[in-house]
Chain A
């Protein structure tokens, strides 16, 4: 009887998992597998040829330009992720702690920018920060120098990315704080911890996992960003992502583009792995039990 029952549960589980698993296989794993395969091929006049070689990787790793793009994208993504962390924490904390019944509404408001497309939003930033943008027009009207650092620069790209991905960071931290027992802070205070100390001893370690997820959610798309640097970065702001995009568009060098994709994937995976190493499940307060 038990055996039959178990079989039934097993079947039910499979039925529930199957559609999602199929979707992920077709639309996530297959493309990744195909770019890995393509990266060892060759393109000629917009055609892929299946003659296996390592040329794409040789060019990528020896041609300094690409490494410079990669390094530039990497550092930008690191700075963007930490900027989001610094600004996102207080926002998430405020909403989780004092949002009351408006919490959900405030989180939804964070998603408001997603109601329009990314190009529109980035162009709007261009309109604010560019040479004829709101800031600089005002400054110049009063006879002052425009702020050059926000005109078509990496800083502008960074600001744009922080703006785009901040909601991910806030949501990740917020969700973590929802499961955080704020009473523990009272306990810490009774036991002699000043507010800042209580944060470092209790709040931060118990929400590090959520914070790490936020860092990853911001880092990965920032690292791969292509549209934002094109719009805000100016001529010298080309990122790894935007150059990658070109391989599949203007230049039509798919095999080379695939190799760039594989490198990007590898770097992101490595970063995720490193962040994961920092999570000690025992020390995260995660007990594997229902809360």
Chain B
């Protein structure tokens, strides 16, 4: 697959990888990937475990040597350079602080390794401690800190030496939910403040969506889609992305007929109107994804929008899952299948066993040729 990336000025890209491939035995972990990341960009590598995102990050870091391809940082080919000559920072999921060194010693470690003068070390330490709110913790040992504090120290260590870019490998995965939410905002703030690119590996789509500018969705060592996060969310370009990003209902079936670019999908005894994927013809098997929050609930019998660009189906509420800021309605439709509808309104207009009508614009969803098998 050849990717057309957004045009970016060559001199502007901090990281450029070209045709990078890495195999482990018979498994191709990273498959001929190319990518450019610009200054000031927060870039997320999103994918399920085993999709190759961590391997790609490790290749950029120099911890793994690619079998083919090149890595450039600020225009210099660093493919053959060891990690300690690449001027990058990295933050790991399990923090990996040096347990025998105090917080302050952990943080200035990169400066010591680069033989930075003592006075300068102190100055930088003061700066980064203030940035990350670590005042007063300098003399503690890592095991005396909370998880969140440890991750801050890891970030401080990654940032102190002014790296060209910062790599983050699921840095928040080991933190509890509340703290993670807080840190997501914080990490984004540091990135904006420092103006260097962050490359953030995660399997958590919410994290990727919250923090990043652009997202690369990875699957089996390849990029499925590389785009602005809004684009990835609203216009997934593949079945995989549509299924992986956001919460969608999926409907799979044969295209019965096609008229004016609108197809009719036979699904559980119903006819669902769908946009026709390129290259699809009548009779072919397709899969349609519609995000839960894109469907609207209306009372049975209320006036529904007319027209060929809407789907309107009848159903019965089976259960309501109230989540505070939103509510999920599980609605039984057709011959007993269930659809999930997410409603930001918290007035709980419908209760279990209420007859309802589901309405959505066909363009709100996306449709792809189903893979055989």
Q: Footprint of B on A, CB under 8 Å? A: 181, 183-184, 186-194, 197, 201-202, 205-206, 282-285, 287, 289
Q: Shortest CB–CB separation between residue A178 and chain B, in angstroms? A: 16
In contact, A189 and B84 (Cβ under 8 angstroms): yes
What CA separation (Å) do A232 and B94 show in the bound complex?
53
In contact, A282 and B141 (Cβ under 8 angstroms): yes
Q: Shortest CB–CB separation between residue B103 and chain A, in angstroms? A: 13
What CA separation (Å) do A206 and B101 show in the bound complex?
10
Q: Which of B328-369 contact A (CB under 8 A)?
A: none
Query: When A205-B100, A284-B100 are in contact, do A191 and B157 touch as well, CB less than 8 Å?
Result: yes
Q: A186-B63, A202-B98, A282-B100 are in contact. List 11 more A-B contacts (CB 8 A).
A: A186-B83, A188-B113, A189-B62, A189-B82, A189-B84, A190-B61, A192-B110, A192-B113, A201-B98, A282-B141, A285-B100
**Number of inter-chain CB pairs below 8 Å:** 63
Q: Mark B29-73, 1 if CB is under 8 A from A, else 0.
A: 000000000000000000000000000000001110000000000
Q: Which of B128-148 contact A (CB under 8 A)?
A: 141, 143
Residues of B within 8 A of A186 (CB): 63, 83
Residues of A within 8 A of B141 (CB): 282, 287
What CA separation (Å) do A166 and B63 show in the bound complex?
34
Which DSSP category, helix, strand, loop or mixed, fits chain A's interface? helix
In contact, B99 and A187 (Cβ under 8 angstroms): no
In contact, B100 and A283 (Cβ under 8 angstroms): yes
In contact, B96 and A184 (Cβ under 8 angstroms): yes
What CA separation (Å) do A258 and B83 show in the bound complex?
60
Query: When A192-B113, A287-B143 are in contact, do A187 and B96 touch as well, CB less than 8 Å?
Result: yes
Determine whether B286 belongs to the interface, using a CB cutoff of 8 Å to chain A: no
Determine whether B88 belongs to the interface, using a CB cutoff of 8 Å to chain A: yes
What CA separation (Å) do A190 and B98 show in the bound complex?
13
Q: Shortest CB–CB separation between residue B107 and chain A, in angstroms? A: 10
Most buried by A among B88, B113, B114, B157: B113
Question: B113 is contacted by which of A193, A285, A289 (Cβ under 8 Å)?
Answer: A193
Q: Shortest CB–CB separation between residue A31 and chain B, in angstroms? A: 39
Most buried by B among A183, A192, A197: A192
Most buried by B among A181, A189, A193, A287: A189
In the A-B complex, the 10 residue pairs with the smallest Cβ-Cβ separation, listed nearest first, are A192-B113, A285-B99, A287-B143, A191-B110, A189-B83, A285-B100, A190-B90, A283-B100, A193-B113, A187-B96
